[in-house]
């Protein structure tokens, strides 16, 4: 892998400091590097539009947190480009490589010794009055929730065109295995091994206590219709893309045609990550 895209978290000085040493190091190894425009401008070097980078590269290196990683993964997934994340954030479930491990991890990447994990993604379509308003790929989750002052909302759920139930709740999370350690976990959902082929439905503060999270096959088609008349209900995709919902809006969620391709360096194991990030075993 000699053609490398580098995309950094915006408004952070730390990636720039790292790149001042990393870029010459990469070029000494015969790599052609494509840095996103915003970061490049701060380094006074040539930059590339983020949307164009996938057409130039074989791999993308992300310097930032999980939020940056999610945005980049959505950008490059359909091009089949693998991504290696360097954690400059706080938690870092997706960006597993720490700053101290950058050079060893990139060396593994260049030599092809990283483990490649393919992760399920979801395609989400918002329909209003029969028209498609929004269609977005997500790696973590699709969230429908009410505003702080709104009343409980009614969400009518169907799976493969078969009616399931109408949740009376603060909202609903449709999560991938990768996203099972994000908002879904906070709402009481299960942790799924990240390479599984499943989708999790997790109600948020359901008014009916018997409404529990449910694990589904990735082959199903999920449709959620907003039955409430509240004007304070929102659709949020990967915690980054979103819009306000209206009564009778339909959110359709299916398995995406492409998968996220994440590189794992340093022989890291998923349970090591869980134990570290979730502080298992600590008192």
In the chain, the percentage of residues whose pLDDT exceeds 70 is 98
157 and 42 within one domain: no
Domain ranges, residue 201: 122-255
233 and 126 within one domain: yes
Q: What confidence score (pLDDT) does residue 268 get? A: 74
Q: Is residue 282 part of a domain?
A: no
Domain tally for the chain? 2
Q: Is residue 39 part of a domain?
A: yes
137, two tokens = 């790929």
The C-alpha atoms of residue 70 and residue 261 are separated, in whole angstroms, by 12
Task: Answer whether 238's CB lies under 8 Å from 140's CB.
Answer: yes
273 and 168 within one domain: no
Residues of the chain short of pLDDT 70, as ranges, are: 89-92
The C-alpha atoms of residue 169 and residue 146 are separated, in whole angstroms, by 9
Burial degree of 74 (CB within 10 A; 0-12, 13-18, 19+): buried
Q: Is residue 264 part of a domain?
A: yes
Q: What confidence score (pLDDT) does residue 91 get? A: 66
133 and 103 within one domain: no
115 and 63 within one domain: yes
Strands 260-264 and 115-119: antiparallel
Q: What confidence score (pLDDT) does residue 253 get? A: 98
Q: Is residue 147 part of a domain?
A: yes
Q: Is residue 187 part of a domain?
A: yes
Average pLDDT of the residues of the chain: 92
12 and 87 within one domain: yes
Sign of the four-CA dihedral 10, 12, 13, 16: negative
User: What string of DSSP letters covers 110-173?
Assistant: HHT-SEEEEE--EEEEEEETTEEEEEEEESSEEEEEE-TTPPPEEEEEEETTEEEEEEEESEEE
Q: What confidence score (pLDDT) does residue 269 get? A: 80
83 and 46 within one domain: yes
Q: Is residue 88 part of a domain?
A: yes
Reduce the DSSP state of residue 202 to 3 states and report it: strand
208 and 272 within one domain: no
Q: Which residues of 212-246 are buried (b: 16+ CB within 10 A; e: fewer)?
A: ebebeebeeebbbbbebebeebebbbbbebeeebe
Q: What confidence score (pLDDT) does residue 231 get? A: 72
Q: Is residue 59 part of a domain?
A: yes
Q: Is residue 283 part of a domain?
A: no
Q: What confidence score (pLDDT) does residue 13 get? A: 82
Q: What confidence score (pLDDT) does residue 223 get? A: 98
111 and 149 within one domain: no
Catalytic residue among 36, 66, 141, 249: 66
213 and 184 within one domain: yes
Residue 30 has a CB neighbour count (10 Å cut-off) of: 8
193 and 166 within one domain: yes
Q: What confidence score (pLDDT) does residue 129 get? A: 92
88 and 67 within one domain: yes
Is residue 249 annotated as a catalytic residue, yes or no? no
The C-alpha atoms of residue 183 and residue 141 are separated, in whole angstroms, by 8
Looking at residue 263, which CATH number applies to its domain?
3.40.50.10330
Looking at residue 126, which CATH number applies to its domain?
2.60.200.30
């Amino acid at each position: 892998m000699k053609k490398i895209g580098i995309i950094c978290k915006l408004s952070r000085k730390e990636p720039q400091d790292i790149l001042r040493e990393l870029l010459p190091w990469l070029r000494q190894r015969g790599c052609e590097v494509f840095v996103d425009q915003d970061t490049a401008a701060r380094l006074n070097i040539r930059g590339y539009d983020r949307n164009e980078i996938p057409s130039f590269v074989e791999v993308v290196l992300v310097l930032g947190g999980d939020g940056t990683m999610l945005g980049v993964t959505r950008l490059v997934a359909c091009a089949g480009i693998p991504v290696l994340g360097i954690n400059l954030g706080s938690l870092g479930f997706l960006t597993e490589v720490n700053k101290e491990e950058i050079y060893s991890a990139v060396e593994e990447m260049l030599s092809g010794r990283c483990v490649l994990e393919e992760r399920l993604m979801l395609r989400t379509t918002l329909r209003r009055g029969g028209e498609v308003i929004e269609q977005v790929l997500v790696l973590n989750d699709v969230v429908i929730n009410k505003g702080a002052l709104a009343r409980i909302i009614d969400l009518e759920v169907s799976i493969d065109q078969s009616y399931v139930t109408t949740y009376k709740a603060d909202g609903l999370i449709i999560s991938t295995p990768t996203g099972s350690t994000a908002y879904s976990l906070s709402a009481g959902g299960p942790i799924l091994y990240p390479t599984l082929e499943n989708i999790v439905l997790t109600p948020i503060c359901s008014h009916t206590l018997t409404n529990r999270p449910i694990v589904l096959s990735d082959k199903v088609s999920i449709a959620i219709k907003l039955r409430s008349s509240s004007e304070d209900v929102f659709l949020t995709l990967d915690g980054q893309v979103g819009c306000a919902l209206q009564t009778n809006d339909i959110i359709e969620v299916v398995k995406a045609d492409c998968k996220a391709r994440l590189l794992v360096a340093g022989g890291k194991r998923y349970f090591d990550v869980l134990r570290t990030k979730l502080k298992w075993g600590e008192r």
